[in-house]
Amino acid sequence: MPVAQRLTVAIVGRPNVGKSTLFNRLVGKKLALVDDTPGVTRDWRAADARVGGLDLTVVDTAGLEEVFDDSLEARMRRQTERAMERADVILFMVDARAGITGMDRHFATWLRRSNRPVVLAANKAEGAAARSGLIEAYELGLGEPIAISAEHGEGMADFVQALLPFVKEEEEGEAGEAEVAEPAELDAEAAAAAGLDLPAEPEPKALQMAIVGRPNVGKSTLVNSLVGEERVLTGPEAGMTRDAIAVEWSWKGRPVRLVDTAGLRKRARVEAKLEKLAVADTLRVIRMAHVVVLVLDADGILDKQDLTIARLVVEEGRSLVIALNKWDAVQDKQAALQQMKDRLQTSLPQARGVHTVTISALKGQKLDTLLDTVFEAYALWNRRIPTAQLNRWLKEMTEAHPPPLVDGRRLKIRYMTQVKARPPTFALFVSRPVELPEQYSRYLVNGLREVFGMPGVPIRMLLRKGS
Ligand code: GDP
Ligand code: GDP
């Protein structure tokens, strides 16, 4: 087996983007400063870290700014040059909240010309305030920015994934293509120890399903019916830092893992107060899942909490399935279904076309259909569309509806490609990405959904500059 070598990563970027914050997060309490002797000019510090199964030496260059008093740009160059001497990869950090500055652009150009491996990180990416900064970051010409929040530990799995291609392996035995670990197989224990926002346990190959909904809709009843009494309920497992509980079984021969849900908690007689769905709890559950089943009461009430949960699922890029429970108690089934669909359509346009299954958790009705639907949603979430096919479709779409004129010039849409699945994420190359109206992106996303048969799939569209 080849052994992965330690990767040295230098964090560079203008002051205040969050370099030290990331350094501290990665290195954690085990901080082992190198060359940090008092009295010696500290122009960089380095420490070892293990993140998601990856051994890193992280070099923080933040201290260098105080060392020289010439222009900031000259200092940044010098700090980077120094760091480059010892780094395998440069992590160029920008501030997604502040947006891309002239200095960032200038520096990016210089980095691009240096021909060094660079990974672009857009920090402070938590929340909506970072959205436009993230899009701007594409224009730096350094590839897809990884969205992270050093302060909140978000995006660390993407961070690790972005670094994986640079890991060299020590030859032991026959040479072969470098085996790159899936982020799903990251070392969760180490990540948890470092307080990183990686999955709290090694992600199994099983479909990860969560059942959410407001109290009393029938979540516990559903869990019981699905899983049955004979199943093993697993408590907090070794290596888990969080009080997660899960249960595993298989469905038509395929493994399913039901992750931490209110229903499971109740079944495991975890304190009742945990049943209260704080947004933070719900988010945590959603992030653990591939497919989220939102249970609604068939009485037709769709309240704010239901909509909030559904919106979170879509925003987090998870696959959503809606279960209309207590269907056995509904008199006029046809009217009830229509009413619920209308309500969903008006209140939740993001989830247009989302699969809705009517069930009775109590009587065990339609649970087969529910699981079939969950697997179907999972397959679509994993969907990959060949580039040639995408671009044929794109041509038709842009011919039918050309992109608008901005300042008298027509925006040019060049090309499209799927950059990843889970959820399906597409990069669209546009002459002036910032100017492409939201409406036009939506036109394309809706078209993709329709033509390629992905109802209810949280499709993501990234705009990139392509000239
Ligand atoms: P450096 O000069 O690049 O090393 O930046 P610092 O690590 O000192 O961070 C600058 C400021 O940004 C500090 O106030 C941090 O708390 C803040 N900061 C760092 N990371 C984040 C983040 O992910 N989100 C937000 N909102 N603030 C952050
Ligand atoms: P939770 O709070 O979402 O976990 O909801 P529970 O599973 O505790 O169920 C709340 C109530 O709804 C209980 O009285 C259940 O018996 C009832 N219930 C759950 N599922 C169904 C169903 O499919 N049909 C009917 N008629 N009642 C149900």
Per DSSP, the residues of 54-78 read EEEEEEE-GGGGGT--S-HHHHHHH
Comparing 51 with 122, the larger pLDDT belongs to: 122
279-288 vs 304-315: helix axis angle to the nearest 10?
40
Span from the CA of 282 to the centroid of ligand 2 (angstroms): 20
| DSSP classification of residue 433 | G
Q: Quick one: pLDDT band at residue 62, thresholds 50, 70, 90?
A: low
| pLDDT at residue 28 tops 70 | yes
Fold equal for 7-166 and 207-382? yes
Q: Quick one: pLDDT band at residue 3, thresholds 50, 70, 90?
A: low
What pLDDT does 72 receive?
64
What does the pLDDT look like over 230-249, one tens digit per residue? 344 444 433 333 344 677 77
| pLDDT at residue 277 tops 60 | no
- Pocket test residue of 12, 16, 21 for ligand 1, highest count of atoms within 8 A of CB: 21
Which amino acids are annotated as binding site for GTP, given as ranges? 13-20, 60-64, 123-126, 213-220, 260-264, 325-328
Q: Average model confidence (pLDDT) for the chain? A: 76
Q: Quick one: pLDDT band at residue 170, thresholds 50, 70, 90?
A: low
Where are the chain's structural domains? 7-166, 207-382, 387-465
What residue has token string 């260059």? 61
Q: Kindly report the CA angle at 349 between 338 and 331, in degrees rounded to 5? A: 15
Task: Say which CATH topology domain 207-382 has.
Answer: Rossmann fold (3.40.50)
What pLDDT does 135 receive?
84
For residue 445, give the nearest of 418, 467, 422 by alpha carbon. Answer: 418
Ligand nearest to the CA of 225: 2
With a threshold of 0.95, tell me whether the complex ipTM lies above it: no
Span from the CA of 307 to the centroid of ligand 2 (angstroms): 20
Q: How far from chain centre, in Å, is Cα 30?
A: 27
CATH 3.10.580.10 applies to domain 7-166? no
User: Distance (Å, rounded) from C-alpha 60 to C-alpha 44?
Assistant: 6
Residue 267, CA distances (Å) to 225, 248, 277, 294 in order: 12, 15, 16, 18
Q: Quick one: pLDDT band at residue 36, thresholds 50, 70, 90?
A: very low
Q: What sign does the dihedral 434-439-441-444 (CA atoms) show?
A: negative
Comparing 131 with 92, the larger pLDDT belongs to: 92
Q: Which residues does a 6 A CB cutoff place in the pocket of ligand 2?
A: 213, 215-221, 263, 266, 325-326, 328-329, 360-362
The token pair that represents 191 in the structure block? 């990540």
Span from the CA of 358 to the centroid of ligand 2 (angstroms): 14
Ligand nearest to the CA of 296: 2
What does the pLDDT look like over 421-430, one tens digit per residue? 888 988 888 8
For residue 118, give the nearest of 76, 146, 97, 151 by alpha carbon. Answer: 146
User: Distance (Å, rounded) from C-alpha 373 to C-alpha 356?
Assistant: 9
Residue 19 in contact with ligand 1 by CB distance below 6 A? yes
- For domain 387-465, which CATH number applies: 3.30.300.20, 3.40.50.300, 3.40.50.2300, 3.90.1150.10? 3.30.300.20
User: Distance (Å, rounded) from C-alpha 372 to C-alpha 380?
Assistant: 13
Residue 129 in contact with ligand 1 by CB distance below 6 A? no
| pLDDT at residue 207 tops 70 | yes
Q: Quick one: pLDDT band at residue 362, thresholds 50, 70, 90?
A: very high
Which range (161-175, 356-370, 411-425, 431-445) has the least confidence?
Answer: 161-175
423 cis-preceded (ω within 30 degrees of 0): yes
306, 449 in Cβ contact below 8 A? no
438-451 vs 387-400: helix axis angle to the nearest 10?
120
Q: Could you tell me which residues come within 8 angstroms of residue 52 by beta carbon, excluding any fewer than 6 positions away?
A: 156, 157, 160, 183, 186, 187, 188, 190, 191, 196, 198
Which amino acids are annotated as binding site, given as ranges? 13-20, 60-64, 123-126, 213-220, 260-264, 325-328
* pTM value surpassing 0.95: no
Span from the CA of 233 to the centroid of ligand 2 (angstroms): 20
Most confident of 19-33, 258-272, 298-312, 363-377: 363-377
What residue has token string 């990869």? 89
pLDDT (mean) for 106-118: 82
